[in-house]
Chain A
């Protein structure tokens, strides 16, 4: 009786899992229906698609660098220091993640519109409808991924290692560079990949702040709006190929990270009270 129940349970779990996987994979294959092989290669090399693709990669890279520059220290600060308003700060960093991207774009437009204070402060800088605008939108929307992943990574470090480094004569900056960052490296790398993926796929906020020049997401959106799905296929195919590469990179990092975690647990578990 119990055995039958267990088999039934496994069956239900398997069926639900297959449906979940199919719902993800089916759209990837269904898009091929709209592809005419004879024109696929030609369409993939269409200049405006290539330009949009390259622009997305470039802006996402800059955004990721900016997020890393400010986000990693913020993550360290939130992980290590206790200060008034820390809990509020931890909520604030999640806001771009929970806001609808279009709303995020609208907020950014409020800050960077041509009549804004910042626009007047930097009159020669084009904040909207420019590459800078794209970077601002991507940075805002993708920042939680880096900050949250880095914070989790710093949280997972055995704090006694940082104390040992201080006792051994290292100043706080040296401890950060020589102990905290190397030990949080895997989590930070995962954060970087996730941030980059999010920035590449960014549409909503960019749509509001910098529709032009076109990123790959806006190019797909526009091609679909003007010429239907078949016209958007080249951009979609390029995005899918890039996604596959990124997913592989992400998996490698996660796998390596899991292996190291097991090793580290071996080191620390025996000494723990």
Chain B
């Protein structure tokens, strides 16, 4: 399968997949992923997220349906022949082997020398080259998980399944490792499916997001679309926020300037400023709370660094508290929601179809994604 040169596309297609358990039926599931996508799978406990991964990996046999990788039916292919990587919550390192032996476990001894550069590249990407001779009992949780992920990726899997591999790590390690993980998955051109309960994992890793509930996929879409507030009131939150019980505006763009601790990034034709230094041409994704966006009918001089003229697309109750409204604003491809009180709306005489200025400080956005620019941002 040639994927690096882009001549043949890599696809994972799941068709009408069903698996019954006592008291629970998983499916039917239909899903299609292409090329270098990372899909993050979210859903409540018991919704079937791990079941889906087990079915794709071959650890569980489906009752019905088919799984195709680049058109080849692998539904009945043995686990060991599927070329699918699978990383669990538990790093599952082999306790009788040292770090290096764990990493090269999946590569036949006869071809290890030929794979040396691939092994070295991944070992360095994960920053574990100084650990190779160590006994695995001497590793920290984060190091174990890095070894576990490297062990899977050195075998050059077509698809990488990850079942909350970072769930038990401390916040600092998790933030760094998921950043590394996204970068490495993109570099290795592996199609990834990542299961998580953490909202930040979604923002940091996902190209697309699937919401699984009671064994069926409720919704699948790109991260941007999922995070864009709906155009159809009275739904007051985005699909992801509905799941996580929080809502945010999400903006993703390319850094054009970074001076004196202020970074400017561009979304379409519009520029925004955030705190921090990020490399020019890198891609950043930020979250902005609806409460942090204030509205003005006329242009005002203010200390806030971000002022954008937008059209009021809709006004609807926030469902948070009586008298609190969500003002849905759009301009070009940008969609934002500002949350204001009924009194403010009445005072400013905000009505649908009119233009208002959306204003927020450079300190308001919370950066959730930072990566090198790719040819195509999903």
Q: Are B80 and A170 in contact (CB under 8 A)?
A: yes
Interface SS, B side? loop
Query: B residues within 8 A CB of A160?
Result: 88, 90, 92
Contact call A164/B80, Cβ cutoff below 8 A: no
Do the beta carbons of B152 and A267 come within 8 Å of each other? no
Q: Which residues of B contact A273 (CB under 8 A)?
A: 89
Contact B95 A271 (CB under 8 A): no
Q: Select which of B86, B95, B151 is within 8 A of A267 by beta carbon.
A: B95
Query: Are the C-beta atoms of A272 and B155 separated by less than 8 Å?
Result: no
Whether the Cβ atoms of B89 and A271 lie closer than 8 Å is yes
A106 at the interface (CB under 8 A from B): no
Extra 13 A-B pairs, beta carbons < 8 Å, given A166-B59, A185-B96: A160-B88, A164-B88, A164-B94, A167-B86, A168-B155, A170-B106, A183-B96, A266-B137, A267-B144, A271-B90, A271-B141, A272-B90, A273-B89
- Nearest A residue to B136 via CB reads A267
Query: Do A164 and B86 touch (CB < 8 A)?
Result: yes
- A169 with B137, Cβ < 8 A, contacts A158-B92, A179-B94, A268-B90 known: no
Task: Tell me, yes or no, whether B168 is within 8 Å of chain A by CB.
Answer: yes
- Inter-subunit contact A167/B90 (CB<8 Å): no
When each residue 214-256 of chain A gets 1 if its CB lies under 8 Å from chain B and 0 otherwise, what string results?
A: 0000000000000000000000000000000000000000000
- List the interface of chain B (C-beta within 8 A of A): 57, 59, 78-86, 88-96, 105-106, 136-137, 141, 144, 151-152, 155, 168
A272 to B90, CA, bound (A): 6
Q: Is A161 an interface residue when CB atoms closer than 8 A count as contact?
A: yes
10 A-B Cβ contacts within 8 A?
A160-B88, A167-B82, A167-B86, A169-B83, A170-B80, A182-B96, A183-B96, A185-B96, A266-B137, A273-B89
Tell yes or no: A270 within 8 A of B by CB: yes
- The answer to whether A167 and B79 have CB atoms under 8 Å apart is yes
Q: Does A263 contact B (CB under 8 A)?
A: yes
Q: Which residues of A contact B92 (CB under 8 A)?
A: 158, 160-161, 164, 271
A66 at the interface (CB under 8 A from B): no
B residues near A166, Cβ cutoff 8 Å: 59, 79-80
Top-5 shortest CB links A-B: A271-B90, A168-B106, A166-B79, A182-B96, A167-B86
Band of interface residues on A: 20 to 34
Contact indicator per residue, chain A 147-159, by CB within 8 Å of chain B (1) or not (0): 0000000000010
Q: Determine the distance from Cα of A51 to Cα of B224 in the docked complex, in whole angstroms.
A: 84
B contact residues around A182 at 8 Å (CB): 96
How many angstroms from the CA of A171 to the CA of B77 in the assembled complex? 12
Residues of A within 8 A of B94 (CB): 161, 164-165, 179, 183
A168 touches B93 (CB 8 A): no
**Residues of chain A contacted by B93 (CB below 8 angstroms):** 267
Query: Taking the nearest CB of chain B, how far is it from the CB of A258, in angstroms?
Result: 14
Contact between chains at A271 and B168 (CB < 8 Å)? yes
Closest chain A residue, CB of each to CB of B93: A267
